[in-house]
Amino acid sequence: MTSLLTPEATTHTDPAAVASGAVIPDTSRAERTTSFDVADFPVPNGREEEWRFTPVDRLSALFADKDSDRGALQLDLDGVRSVLAEPLAPGEAPRGTALVPGDRSAAVAHAHSPKALYLKLAAEQEYAEPLRLGIHGTAAGARSNGHVVIEAGAQSKGMVILDHTGAADVNANVEVIVGDGANLTVVSLQRWDDEANHLSQHDALVGRDASYRHIAVSLGGGIVRMNAGVRYAGPGAEATLLGVYFADKGQHLEHRSFIDHTAPRCTSLVTYKGALQGDSAHTVWVGDVLIRAEAQGTQTYELNRNLVLTDGARADSVPNLEIETGDIEGAGHASSTGRFDDEQLFYLQARGIPEEQARRLVVRGFFADIVAKIGVPEVVDTVMTAIEDELRQAGE
């Protein structure tokens, strides 16, 4: 945990790093560049703090300042027809209200999305069924840039599911505005084929006394990198970020979150769990929480757990907490990465359960609490089926 008392207390320049040309990390997460201009973000080289875990050498196509390829994505809009509004051009409100690009891929997505898909949930209306948007990549290597705006009117309640399948190279922005007193859940399912690459920024602005849940489920794709951010537009708001991921051989699944407590008496809970198996499987979780001086009465906690099932897999986990006021309810974080528990496996086998079935039970138990928090039957079924498939393939 870092307490930002004075700039002098946290600023250090490493002469060796300067001599080598390495980028010095910003003192605060909030100091990083945000801009709608692609030119403000050089092409990453992997030495930047923001990109140091990511295989940037495999993403040059997505960093190019170029338009989308025609037909790279197919959208299934049938599940969102009831809330589909006129698309939004850059600068046309509410586009740009919650999301300003924080890296080059997000800036490229913005610059080359002349019309953003706009989903508008009416004020004071409850949507009983989830609103599902299907996003299907049509070909490996096909480029797509996209921007989706989701606005939940005051006192509304609903759920939007973004379901990604197929293969393509995708830069995607998802901008969420949660009105005062609204209750909105956004679920993003990454079920891509192995040839897909997906870089995304999901930013939300949460209104007074509103409730926002963001659920990220990454089960497929060659490279998936998601930045999920939250800011508060008024006091009394709460945000919950949940994540589940399972990386297999050769996959890179990266999740980053930034909770920017900008208003008093707000809460945030961040919980991500992942499993890895297979040579060169790699997961990354970076969780940043900033409690600003004006955010008195904040309560926040972030948790990341990783289960490494085989040799050759690697999980990186980096929690960060910055506090600019002493007047808070509570703040903390926890992170752990461990191998399969042989004692649990022995316990189950000693009671007559075959090894393969015992391994599945241990992994199920690892994910059980976060899956229960998701609480969306169709999402839970998707997650558990995918986990079973991964474990079954490992046993073959």
Residue-by-residue pLDDT tens, the chain, 396 positions: 333 332 223 333 333 433 444 445 566 777 889 999 999 999 999 999 999 999 999 999 999 999 999 999 999 999 999 999 999 999 999 999 999 999 999 999 999 999 999 999 999 999 999 999 999 999 999 999 999 999 999 999 999 999 999 999 999 999 999 999 999 999 999 999 999 999 999 999 999 999 999 999 999 999 999 999 999 999 999 999 999 999 999 999 999 999 999 999 999 999 999 999 999 999 999 999 999 999 999 999 999 999 999 899 999 999 999 999 989 999 999 999 988 777 777 778 888 888 778 888 888 888 888 988 888 888 898 888 888 888 777 655
CB burial of residue 136 (10 Å; 0-12, 13-18, 19+): middle
Instruction: Determine contact, residues 386/195, Cβ cutoff 8 Å.
Output: no
Closest CA to 379 of 241, 158, 216: 216
In this predicted structure, what is the pLDDT of residue 22?
Answer: 47
- Alpha carbon 168 to chain centroid, angstroms: 19
In this predicted structure, what is the pLDDT of residue 364?
Answer: 85
Q: Report d(CA 265, CA 232) in Å as an integer.
A: 10
Closest CA to 367 of 264, 262, 219: 219
Instruction: Determine contact, residues 288/259, Cβ cutoff 8 Å.
Output: yes
In this predicted structure, what is the pLDDT of residue 388?
Answer: 83
In this predicted structure, what is the pLDDT of residue 111?
Answer: 97
Closest CA to 165 of 143, 145, 140, 146: 140
Closest CA to 211 of 190, 230, 188, 191: 230
In this predicted structure, what is the pLDDT of residue 347?
Answer: 77
In this predicted structure, what is the pLDDT of residue 374?
Answer: 87
Q: Report d(CA 318, CA 289) in Å as an integer.
A: 12
Q: Is 265 left (phi over 0), alpha (psi -120 to 50) or beta?
A: left
Q: Report d(CA 148, CA 200) in Å as an integer.
A: 11
Q: Report d(CA 315, CA 305) in Å as an integer.
A: 10
In this predicted structure, what is the pLDDT of residue 231?
Answer: 98
In this predicted structure, what is the pLDDT of residue 83?
Answer: 98
Residue 276 CB contacts under 8 Å (≥ 6 apart), including other chains: 246, 247, 282, 283, 306, 307, 308, 309, 310, 313, 314, 315
